[in-house]
């Protein structure tokens, strides 16, 4: 009975997501992958520090996640180029990207009193296997396998992090010395960029988003038509600004996590595929492929079941698959597992649905005439 329940669980959860919203008759697969360009664990050496300091990251993203290396990118592109949709286009990652990271040197020089940031491509130059990353990103764009979209300026709640640094809270300054914003407790204490403590923080978030979108356009030569908030957490008041800056779709889960002024306490707002609000449509993730998050799970078959549900309900199969699954800079075995499973997943999708096409999220705008009630 337990095996049967585990087998049908992906179908049931997917059905709840897919039952409502607009329909799309075409069989479309979108792979949305967050966190590209963002720092996490900067080196293997910090893992030893975690161990010596009794900081348990065994079930944390900080065990494997890091700024993607040249090898990480090349090996991911190689897998994606093995698989073509019915239109002859390669499988493509919608690479939801962070445009800047903290400038640790300048922040320390200010005695933690002022925040400074650097573009993500400058951060690449500070890492040992990353100097050619920006060229590789642009190569991926040209190949049609790696398509950046806007995830934020930083993946850091700047106000909270700077307050913790100024107050020398816990191990924050110690970890700062390694080049990470990790607090040492949990995964998300400083990662929710657009969470707020007081409503007036939203105005600061608007400035950050405006700057981030400009860096995006300056770097890639095109505007980002979509946005995904870090940790699915944003205030609805940000949406008109996003729309006025060319954002047409918001990526997310079934529920938006609207801030309430209390960390980790949010007002859930449900969205459906194609729903329109403040001049923007919503794209809802209905398939999940995260082999690094729970290594013991059969992610391939679970995701296939969710893809099947999406197509049964005439929805795009929107696969949530974070960067961490393809990163081997800290742990090569993590990348090997992720790429092996991705290869099997894509092969299985094409075998079962040979008429499928792979698109990036922003290309949903090309399907406007095919969205029906």
Mean pLDDT of 33-40: 97
CA–CA gap between residue 51 and residue 135 (Å, rounded): 36
What would the two tokens of residue 97 be?
Answer: 């990207």
Length of the chain as a residue count: 373
Residue 5 has pLDDT above 60, yes or no: no
Beta bridge partners of 118: 101
What would the two tokens of residue 372 be?
Answer: 């029906």
CA–CA gap between residue 22 and residue 188 (Å, rounded): 32
pLDDT digits (tens, 9 = 90+) for 346-355: 999 999 999 9
Supply the pLDDT for residue 358.
98
Supply the pLDDT for residue 59.
86
CA 340 to each of CA 51, 62, 94, 306, 308: distance values in angstroms, whole numbers, following the listed order: 29, 21, 19, 19, 21
Supply the pLDDT for residue 2.
56
Supply the pLDDT for residue 4.
53
CA–CA gap between residue 40 and residue 293 (Å, rounded): 15
CA–CA gap between residue 155 and residue 326 (Å, rounded): 19
Supply the pLDDT for residue 217.
98
Supply the pLDDT for residue 61.
92
Residue 70 has pLDDT above 90, yes or no: yes
Confidence of residue 339 (pLDDT cuts 50, 70, 90): very high
pLDDT digits (tens, 9 = 90+) for 172-200: 999 999 999 999 887 677 999 999 999 99
CA 171 to each of CA 43, 55, 78, 363: distance values in angstroms, whole numbers, following the listed order: 18, 10, 40, 43
- The CATH number given to 2-372 is 3.20.20.370
Considering the entire predicted model, what is its pTM? 0.95
Residue 11 has pLDDT above 70, yes or no: no
Residue 14 has pLDDT above 90, yes or no: no
Supply the pLDDT for residue 1.
53
Helix, coil or strand: residue 285: coil
Residue 25 has pLDDT above 90, yes or no: no
pLDDT digits (tens, 9 = 90+) for 284-324: 999 999 999 999 999 999 999 999 999 999 999 999 999 99
Supply the pLDDT for residue 359.
98
CA–CA gap between residue 342 and residue 340 (Å, rounded): 5
Report the C-alpha dihedral over residues 227, 230, 234, 237, rounded to 10 degrees: -40
| Stretch (H or E) spanning 75 | helix 70-80
CA–CA gap between residue 31 and residue 334 (Å, rounded): 19
CA–CA gap between residue 371 and residue 258 (Å, rounded): 27
Domain ranges of the chain: 2-372
Burial 170-207 (b: 16+ CB within 10 A, else e): ebbeebbeebbbbbbeebbbbbbbbbbeeeebbeebbe
Confidence of residue 369 (pLDDT cuts 50, 70, 90): confident
Supply the pLDDT for residue 16.
85
For the chain, the average pLDDT equals 95
pLDDT digits (tens, 9 = 90+) for 81-112: 999 999 999 999 999 999 999 999 999 999 99
Supply the pLDDT for residue 370.
82
Torsional sign, CA 162, 168, 171, 175: positive
Mean pLDDT of 253-260: 97
Number of helices (H), then strands (E), belonging to the chain: the values are 12, 16
Supply the pLDDT for residue 157.
97
What is the 3-class SS of 54-68, one letter each residue? CCCCCCCHHHCCCCC
What would the two tokens of residue 361 be?
Answer: 């999220």
pLDDT digits (tens, 9 = 90+) for 98-156: 999 999 999 999 999 999 999 999 999 999 999 999 999 999 999 999 999 999 999 99
CA–CA gap between residue 341 and residue 336 (Å, rounded): 9
Residue 273 has pLDDT above 70, yes or no: yes
Report the C-alpha dihedral over residues 131, 135, 140, 144, rounded to 10 degrees: 170
């Amino acid at each position: 009975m337990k095996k049967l329940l585990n087998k049908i669980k992906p179908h049931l959860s997917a059905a709840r997501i897919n039952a409502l919203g607009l329909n799309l008759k075409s069989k479309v697969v979108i792979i949305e992958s967050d966190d590209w360009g963002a720092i996490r664990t900067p080196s293997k050496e910090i893992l030893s520090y975690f161990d010596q300091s009794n900081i348990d990251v065994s079930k944390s993203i900080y065990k494997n996640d890091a700024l993607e290396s040249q090898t990480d990118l090349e090996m991911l592109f190689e897998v994606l180029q093995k698989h073509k949709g019915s239109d002859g286009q390669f499988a493509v990652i919608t690479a939801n990207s962070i445009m800047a990271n903290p400038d640790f040197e300048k922040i320390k020089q200010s005695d933690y009193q002022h925040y400074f940031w650097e573009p993500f491509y400058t951060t690449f130059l500070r890492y040992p296997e990353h100097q050619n990353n920006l060229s590789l990103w642009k190569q991926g764009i040209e190949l049609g396998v790696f398509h950046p979209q806007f995830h934020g300026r930083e993946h850091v709640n700047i106000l909270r992090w700077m307050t913790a640094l100024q107050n020398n809270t816990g191990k924050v300054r110690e970890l700062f010395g390694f080049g990470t914003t990790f607090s040492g407790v949990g995964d998300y204490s400083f990662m929710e960029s657009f969470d707020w403590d007081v409503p007036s923080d939203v105005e600061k978030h608007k400035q950050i988003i405006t700057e981030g979108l400009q860096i995006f356009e300056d770097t890639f030569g095109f505007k980002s038509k979509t946005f995904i908030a870090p940790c699915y957490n944003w205030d609805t008041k940000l949406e008109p600004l996003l729309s006025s800056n060319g954002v047409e779709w918001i990526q997310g889960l079934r529920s938006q996590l609207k801030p309430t002024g209390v960390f980790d306490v949010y007002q859930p707002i449900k969205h459906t595929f194609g729903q329109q609000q403040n001049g923007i449509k919503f794209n809802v993730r209905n398939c999940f492929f995260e082999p690094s998050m729970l290594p013991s799970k059969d992610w391939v078959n679970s995701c296939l079941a969710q893809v099947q549900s999406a197509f049964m309900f005439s929805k795009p199969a929107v696969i949530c698959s974070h960067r961490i699954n393809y990163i081997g800079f800290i742990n090569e075995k993590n990348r090997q597992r992720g790429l092996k499973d991705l290869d099997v997943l894509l092969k299985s999708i094409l075998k079962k649905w040979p008429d499928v096409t792979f698109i990036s999220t922003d290309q949903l705008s090309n399907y406007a005439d095919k969205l029906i009630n």
